[in-house]
């Protein structure tokens, strides 16, 4: 079980809608637009004000929900979740939202993030009599909120429970009579509030709003708890916000280019990163190409500043999942091979600058460098539009172990040799930070974790679990 806990760091997508006659259908479309945040499981809980109904399953949104089952999900309020589990922890029971039934009413919770004190909280709760049914962090919140003496109203109990959590979290919570939203005090995860007709919506990314025709209102504040019910929307700060630290990988890699995070469009941010890269590493080359899809914006930015033509030097197969989901290194390498091909007509006889958004294990860069050479590139210069990742992430990105991080064990010249590139460059932390207006977490680049010392507790979890 402890191994499972260690593995249950998740980068997921959450959505909620309050007061729409076809709440489940709206949630279905929203989850579809958040599908890039998780492809391993999806779920919707809907309420008509009387009871909560659930449908969830493993796989893609389109696999989990049939037209027939959607018809059964009647109600005006709903929450949904798409799940990307890390460390191979699968199982239907961990698919969210989690639904809890009790004599005081039903409760459904969906979570994006990773609690760094999950292990300690579970130990305490189990000693006090809680029996856990899943490895999901969302269940911890439910057990904490259920404890006696934690407050009068439901919202008070929730806020008392939230104050005990450490790490990253964006929660959407549904009861028969309200939708609640909570973001961790650092704002590590993205979460936005919008309006839709007479109702309200909340989503991990604003791209979900565009698809369903919702209007963006604002980002949820770090440490904010929002209640949405028949009386409208009320936000309150449940925990004094510390310094804002939105995960910078959301801008760099994870979010969709058409989403806005704290007012900045993701494509625009990536393009700026590419421009900054060009100023730090101007290369004499014939073409610039990006790794589809997340690096295309940075490659365009690089090309714009250097004047080198941007070309489609790499093509991605649309029908294979993200490489990162493959569990082992060998499978991952196979995955990269299946996924990407170099366009001979574009790169043959050319000096190529290949821009990627990030380098974690170095697998993608190595594979692509050799693909480009096989396709006739005379030089391959690999430029990464973010700094070297040298530290693990404890907040839900799939980089928990230092062992896996190529930059943790090699300097740039050693990495260049491993990758087989003619030159290799990474955007510096300073130049990257200049691109953004909002406070960011940069811990995987700098080792400075916004929540302070997390390594000790996570190490204890790893030692006992694996």
> Which are the catalytic amino acids?
12
CA angle 216, 31, 336 (to 5 degrees): 115
Considering only residues 227, 239, 297, 363, which one is a binding residue for ligand AMP as defined by CB under 6 A?
363
Q: d(Cα 290, Cα 311) in Å, to the nearest integer?
A: 8
Binding residues for ligand AMP restricted to 309-328, rule: CB under 6 A: 322, 324
Q: Which is nearer to ligand SF4, 65 or 445 (CB)?
A: 445
Q: d(Cα 125, Cα 314) in Å, to the nearest integer?
A: 51
Considering only residues 356, 416, 454, 461, which one is a binding residue for ligand AMP as defined by CB under 6 A?
356
Q: Which is nearer to ligand AMP, 203 or 397 (CB)?
A: 397
Residue 393: CB minimum distance to ligand SF4, A: 3
Q: Which is nearer to ligand SF4, 299 or 442 (CB)?
A: 442
Grouping H, G, I as helix, E, B as strand and the rest as coil, residue 246 is strand
Sign of CA dihedral 109, 115, 119, 125: negative
Considering only residues 34, 115, 383, 444, which one is a binding residue for ligand SF4 as defined by CB under 6 A?
444
40 touches ligand AMP (CB under 6 A): no
CA angle 124, 130, 133 (to 5 degrees): 115
Q: Which is nearer to ligand SF4, 82 or 249 (CB)?
A: 249
Binding residues for ligand AMP restricted to 238-297, rule: CB under 6 A: 253, 291, 294
Q: Quick one: which of 53, 47, 22, 406 has its CA closest to 228?
A: 47
Residue 391: CB minimum distance to ligand AMP, A: 13
Q: Which is nearer to ligand AMP, 253 or 302 (CB)?
A: 253
Q: What counts of helices (H) and strands (E) characterise the chain? A: 19, 23
CA distances from 44 to 97, 149, 366 (A): 7, 31, 40
Considering only residues 247, 269, 382, 419, which one is a binding residue for ligand SF4 as defined by CB under 6 A?
247
110 touches ligand SF4 (CB under 6 A): no
269 touches ligand SF4 (CB under 6 A): no
Q: d(Cα 262, Cα 222) in Å, to the nearest integer?
A: 12
Considering only residues 158, 202, 360, 443, which one is a binding residue for ligand AMP as defined by CB under 6 A?
360
Considering only residues 162, 188, 266, 278, which one is a binding residue for ligand SF4 as defined by CB under 6 A?
188
Stretch that binds ligand AMP, among 189-197, 207-215, 282-290, 397-405 (CB under 6 A): 397-405
Residue 84: CB minimum distance to ligand AMP, A: 8
Q: Count how many residues are written for the chain.
A: 466
Q: Quick one: which of 17, 14, 13 has its CA closest to 201?
A: 17
Q: Where are the beta strands (DSSP E) in 296-378?
A: 314-316, 340-342, 351-356
Cβ atoms < 10 Å from Cβ of 153: 9
206 touches ligand AMP (CB under 6 A): no
Residue 305 near residue 278, CB atoms below 8 Å? yes
Stretch that binds ligand AMP, among 25-33, 99-107, 173-181, 359-367 (CB under 6 A): 359-367
**Beta-bridge mates of residue 113:** 10, 169
Q: d(Cα 89, Cα 96) in Å, to the nearest integer?
A: 13
Give which of ligand SF4, ligand AMP, none residue 188 binds (C-beta under 5 to 8 Å, depending on kind). Answer: ligand SF4
- What is the contact surface with ligand AMP in residues (CB under 6 A)? 253, 291, 294, 322, 324, 356-364, 397-399
């Amino acid at each position: 079980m402890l191994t499972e806990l260690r593995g249950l760091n998740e980068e997921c997508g959450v959505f909620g809608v309050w007061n729409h006659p076809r709440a489940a259908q709206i949630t279905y479309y929203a989850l579809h637009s958040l599908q890039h945040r998780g492809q391993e499981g999806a779920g919707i809980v809907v309420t008509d004000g009387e009871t909560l109904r659930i449908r969830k399953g493993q796989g893609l949104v389109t696999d989990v929900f049939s037209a027939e089952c959607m018809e059964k999900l009647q109600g005006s309020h709903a929450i949904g979740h798409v799940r990307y589990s890390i460390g191979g922890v699968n199982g239907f029971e961990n698919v969210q939202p989690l639904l809890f039934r009790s004599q005081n009413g039903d409760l459904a919770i969906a979570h994006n993030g990773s609690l760094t004190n999950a292990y300690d909280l579970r130990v305490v709760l189990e000693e006090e009599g809680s029996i856990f049914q899943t490895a999901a962090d969302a269940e911890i919140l439910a057990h904490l909120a259920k404890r006696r003496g934690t407050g009068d109203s439901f919202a008070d109990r929730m806020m008392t429970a939230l104050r005990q959590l450490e790490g990253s979290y964006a929660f959407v919570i549904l009861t028969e009579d309200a939708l609640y939203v909570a973001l961790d005090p650092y704002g590590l995860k993205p979460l936005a509030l919008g309006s839709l007709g007479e109702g309200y919506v909340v989503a991990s990314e604003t791209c979900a709003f565009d698809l369903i025709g919702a209007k963006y209102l604002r980002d949820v504040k770090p440490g904010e708890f929002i209640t949405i019910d028949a009386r409208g929307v009320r936000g309150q700060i449940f925990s004094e916000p510390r310094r804002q630290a939105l995960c910078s990988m959301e801008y760099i890699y994870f979010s969709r280019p058409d989403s806005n995070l704290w007012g900045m469009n993701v494509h625009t941010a990536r393009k700026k990163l590419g421009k900054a890269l060009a100023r730090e590493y101007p290369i004499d080359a014939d073409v610039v190409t990006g790794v589809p899809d997340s690096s295309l914006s940075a490659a365009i930015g690089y090309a714009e500043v250097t004047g080198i033509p941007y070309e489609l030097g790499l093509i991605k197969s649309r029908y294979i999942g993200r490489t990162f989901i493959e569990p082992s290194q060998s499978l991952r390498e196979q995955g990269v091979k299946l996924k990407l091909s170099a366009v001979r007509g574009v790169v043959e006889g050319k000096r190529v600058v290949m821009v990627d958004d990030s380098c974690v294990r170095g697998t993608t860069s190595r594979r692509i460098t050799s693909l480009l050479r096989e396709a006739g590139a005379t030089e391959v210069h690999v430029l990464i539009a973010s700094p070297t990742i040298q530290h693990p992430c404890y907040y839900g990105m799939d980089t928990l172990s230092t062992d896996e991080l190529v930059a943790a064990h090699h300097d740039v010249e050693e990495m260049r040799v491993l990758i087989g590139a003619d030159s290799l460059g990474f955007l510096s932390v300073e130049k990257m930070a200049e691109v953004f207006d909002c406070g960011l977490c940069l811990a995987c680049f700098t080792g400075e974790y916004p929540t302070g010392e997390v390594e000790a507790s996570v190490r204890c979890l790893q030692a006992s679990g694996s």
